[in-house]
Chains A and B, each alone.
Chain A
Amino acid sequence: MDSLRKFFEDERNRREKEAASIMPAGDLIAAMIRKQRGFTYRKRLMSRLLGGVGFVFVAAASIVYFREFVAEAFLWIENVAGQVSGKIAEIYANTKPALLSWSAGISGTAETGIIEKATSEISGWPVQIWYMVFLAAGVGLLLGADRLIRSRKSF
C-alpha cells in the first residue's frame, strides 16, 4: 500500500510543479466576471424595458378588444368585493359591541368605526379604480417574482 501512497504523492508533486508554472489568473477571472456582470445587467435592463412596454401594450390592447368582458369581470369582482367587505363589516359590527361589553362594559356603535367606513368606501369604488388596483397588483407581483428569481440566480 506504501507504493500506492508514494505514487499519488509523486503524482501530486508533479502536478504542483506544473501548477507553479501557471500564471496567476485572479485578475483575468475578475475581469471576466466584470464583463459578464455588465452584459447580464444590460440584458436584464433591456428585457425589463421591453417586457414592461410589451405588457402595457398587451394590457391596453386587451382592454380595448375585450372591453365588454373586462367590464363584466370587474363588475363581478366589484360585487364580490362589496359582498365580502359587507360581510366583514357585519361580522365586525356584531363582534365589536359584544367584545366591548364583555371586556369592560363599554358600549359603542358599530356604524362609526373605521372598518365600516373603509368597507363601504371600497365597495363603492368604480370599475376603473378596480382595474387600476388589479393592474398595479399584477405588475407588482410579476416584478416581485422576477426579483426573487434573479436574486437567487445571482450575478
Chain B
Amino acid sequence: MQDVADIQRVLRGDMRAYAALVNRYQSMVFVLVRSVCRSTEDAQEITQDVFLKVYRQLYTFKGNASFRTWLYRIAYNTAISWKRKSKVREKAEDAYTRNEVYSARPADEEPDPEREEQYERLRGLVEELPPQEKMLIELYYYKDLKMEEVAYISGMTLSNAKVRIFRIRQKLQQAMTQA
C-alpha cells in the first residue's frame, strides 16, 4: 500500500517520494543485479540505471503485478542487456576479477575447506551459464518469489520457466557429481 501511495505521489511530481521508493528497494535490486556483475561498482551503476528506467516507465505501471515484481522485471532486463553488452570487455578482465570478486568470505565465519571447494566449483559452474539462465536460477532461489513471479519477471510462460529451471538445476547437479 505504501508503494502505491508513493507511486501516485511520484506521478504527481513528488521527487521525495521517489527518493524514498529508491531507498526502500535499492538493496533488493542491488542483490539481484550483483549476481551478473563482477564488481560492486558495476552493480551500483546498473542499480542506478534500473531506477532511472523505472522513473521513466512508472506511468506504465498498472498494478497488475506487485511493484516489487515489476521492479524485478526491469532489473532483470537491464542486467541481462548490460551483461550482453559487457561480455567482450569481461572476457578480457576475466582472469583478474574472478579471484578478486569471489574471494570474499565473511570474517565471522569459520573456514570450511570442503564447503569452500564445493562453492568455488559451483561459482565456476554458475559463471559458465548464459546470463538469462544465471538470472533465472538466481530468481528461483530468491526468497519470497513464487514460480509465477519468476516467470513474469523473466518474461516466460510458467511452464517454460519451470522447464528451464529444471534443466539448469539438472545441469548444475550433473556437473557437480561429475566433478
Complex formed: what's the CA distance from A109 to B162 in Å? 75
Name A75-104 residues within 8 Å CB distance of B.
none
- Please count how many residues in chain A sit with their CB below 8 Å of the partner chain's CB atoms: 31
CB within 8 Å for A4 and B55 given contacts A30-B18, A34-B15: no
Chain B contacts for A32, CB-based, 8 A: 48, 52
Name A1-19 residues within 8 Å CB distance of B.
1, 3-5, 7-12, 14-19
Chain B contacts for A12, CB-based, 8 A: 31, 141-143
Q: Which of A3, A9, A17 contacts B118 (CB 8 A)?
A: A3
Q: Is the CB–CB distance between B118 and A16 below 8 Å? A: no
Q: Is the CB–CB distance between A8 and B137 below 8 Å? A: yes
Q: Which residue of B lies closest to A18 (CB)?
A: B40
- Cβ of B26 under 8 Å from chain A: yes
Q: Is the CB–CB distance between A29 and B122 below 8 Å? A: no
- Residues 141-167 of B, flagged 1 when their CB comes within 8 A of A and 0 if not, give 111000000000000000000000000
- Identify the stretch in B62-70, B78-86, B91-99, B168-176 within 8 Å (CB) of chain A at 4 or more residues: B168-176
Q: Taking chain A's interface residues, is the majority helix, strand, or loop, or is none over half, making it mixed?
A: helix
Having A7-B119, A12-B143, A18-B104, one finds 19 other A-B pairs with CB under 8 Å, namely A1-B169, A4-B172, A5-B141, A8-B141, A9-B143, A11-B35, A12-B141, A15-B34, A22-B44, A25-B47, A25-B51, A26-B21, A26-B23, A26-B26, A27-B19, A29-B19, A30-B18, A30-B22, A33-B55
List the interface of chain B (C-beta within 8 A of A). 15-16, 18-23, 26-27, 30-31, 34-35, 40, 44, 47-48, 51-52, 55-57, 59, 104, 106, 118-119, 122, 137-138, 141-143, 169, 172-173, 176
Pick 16 A–B contacts, CB within 8 A, sort by A. A4-B173, A7-B118, A8-B141, A9-B143, A11-B35, A14-B106, A22-B26, A22-B30, A22-B44, A24-B23, A25-B44, A26-B18, A26-B20, A26-B22, A28-B48, A29-B18
